[in-house]
Amino acid sequence: MEDPEHIPAINRTQPPAFVRETASPGESRALAFGIAAWLLPGLGHALQKMWGRALVVFFAVGLLVFAGASMKGNVFTRQGTDAFDKLGYIADMGTGCFYLFARSIETKGADVSHAGGDYGTRLLATAGVLNLLAALHAYEAARGHKA
Amino acid sequence: MTALPPLDLTHFQAFLLFAVVISVAFGFLGRRRPKDRVKYILWSLFLFLLVGIGVGWAMFPFSH
């Protein structure tokens, strides 16, 4: 039988553990904005009425993807054989729906036999990483952090 | 979609495109006030160019 004298006092300053572990509505909203920002560059900022940032992210990522694919850069696929291919695929997937745009431009495939194709590969990876950074920024802004 | 003609940029043009686009994006994401954004864009663009050209020249002796 439990001694009533030794029952720990309820800590009223902290919510119960099951409440703390559940994501708050604000957190879920921020996560949704982050995912939206990844899927369509600039959407996460547009949903928060940050129009300037939304336009800049959309056109910056779009321009880099367009230039990279037009230069016949390598748009990596899931069937990568080595670690660099897989990292390239992750970076390219960072562009969200623009990945499909890049694939649609490069109908004849990549050509990295000349330097221009290699530069294009880098521009495509840069676009993906930039969009991931912008998505993280949109997520942090939605959480109320100074942005 | 019809295939677009390939874009043929030199190394310096591709580098300049990268530097300008990333500087503008960083400026808008990193700063809020227009004046601060312009200063940040110009400063980061200058540093991109300085480091890029500097590293290029630093590698020059190894290519000969």
Q: How many Cα neighbours within 13 Å face the side chain of A10?
A: 4
The answer to whether residue A10 sits within a structural domain is no
**DSSP secondary structure letter of residue A46:** H
Answer yes or no: is A3 within a domain.
no
Q: What are phi and psi of A15, to 5 degrees?
A: -70, 160
A8 occurs within a structural domain:
no
Complex ipTM, two decimals? 0.87
> How does pLDDT run across A19-37, given as a tens digit for each residue?
555 667 788 999 999 999 9
Is A7 part of any domain? no
Question: Do B14 and A119 make contact, defined as CB atoms within 8 angstroms?
Answer: yes
pLDDT of res. A18: 55
**Average predicted confidence (pLDDT) for chain A:** 86
pLDDT at B3: 61
- Domain membership flag for residue A34: yes
Is residue A67 domain-resident? Answer: yes
When scoring A49, A50, A122, A123 by the number of chain B Cβ atoms within 10 A, the one with the most, hence best to mutate, is A123
Identity at A30, one-letter amino acid code: A
pLDDT tens digit sequence for A39-91: 999 999 999 999 999 999 999 999 999 999 999 898 999 988 899 999 999 99
Q: Is residue A5 part of a domain?
A: no
Minimal Cβ distance to B1: which of A52, A107, A134: A107
State the total domains in chain A: 1
Q: Is residue A112 part of a domain?
A: yes
Residue A65 lies in domain: 25-142
Distance CA B28, CA B22 (A): 10
